[in-house]
Structure 1
Amino acid sequence: MRVVKFVVLAIVAVLLVAVALANSQPVTLLLLPETMAAFLGLTWSVTLPMFVVILGAVVIGLLIGFLWEFAREHKHRAAARTERRERESLQREVKKMRAEKPGQGDEILALLEDGSVPQKRAS
């Protein structure tokens, strides 16, 4: 399984290098369209290689997706946290009850061992 993981990572690395080499020409990114930027007075721009823009867009998309899923799964994590706290509380209660009455086992078994419960007769 480890070998497959490294092979897949190597293939992804080769593909990323190929994309970077094929898209190395510089592009200019503008904050706003030119007419709107002239109207508002905001003329922010940056020139980057195309592969940086592509990979940056992929990374930003992944981060947005991860954050979206993190927020969407909040109710599941909250329910799991509540159940864990309840389980721990019940475990503490059982431990406390066992400490209060040491030596006592199951009540039904104690009744059967005592013999006070009538047994079925074989016919």
Structure 2
Amino acid sequence: MRYIRYACIATFAVALISVAVANRQMTSLQLIPSEVAGWFHMNPGIDLPLFIVIFGSIIVGLFVGFVWEWVREHNQRAEAARQAREMRRMEREIAKLKGEKHQGKDEVLALLDEAS
């Protein structure tokens, strides 16, 4: 199983390297379109290799997707926390009721009663 994982990682690395080598040409990224940049008398931009733009956009897309899912699953996390609080409250209540049940009994008999 370990070798299959290493083969998959190697295949993925070869694919990423081939994409990077095939897309080495420089591309210009601009913050705002050139038509709008005339209004502000500035045109902020940067020249980067295309593979960095591709990999960067993939990483940003993954990050946005993870944040989106985290926000979307807020209700499930809140419900799980509520159920955990309820379970802890019920466990405390059960322990209290067991303590009241065995109050005044011999300790050995109470332990044997709890074990059964």
Shorter-chain TM range is 0.7 to 0.9
Question: Are 2:96 and 1:96 equivalent residues in the alignment?
Answer: yes
Distance 2:88 2:42 in 1: 57
Alignment partner, residue 70 of structure 1: 70
Alignment partner, residue 111 of structure 1: none
Local SS of the residue matching 2:43? coil
Question: Are 2:64 and 1:31 equivalent residues in the alignment?
Answer: no
Greater gyration radius: 1
Deviations along 1:23-64, one digit per CA (max 9) or x if unpaired, are: 111111011111211112231000111100000000000001
Alignment of 1:29-68 (within 5 A): 29-68=29-68
Distance 1:3 1:76 in 2: 37
Alignment partner, residue 107 of structure 2: none
- Higher helix proportion, which one? 2
- TM-score normalized with structure 2 length: 0.84
Local SS of the residue matching 1:24? coil
Letter in 2 for 1:30: Q
Distance 2:70 2:4 in 1: 29
Cα separation, partners in 2 of 1:42 and 1:100, compared to 1, 3 Å: farther
Per-residue deviation at 1:65?
0.5
Distance 2:39 2:53 in 1: 26
C-alpha RMSD over aligned residues: 1.8
Distance 1:68 1:44 in 2: 29
- Taking every aligned residue pair, what percent have the same amino acid on both sides? 38
In structure 1, runs of 5+ residues without a counterpart are: 106-123
- TM-score normalized with structure 1 length: 0.79
The runs of at least 4 aligned residues of structure 1 exceeding 4 Å deviation read none
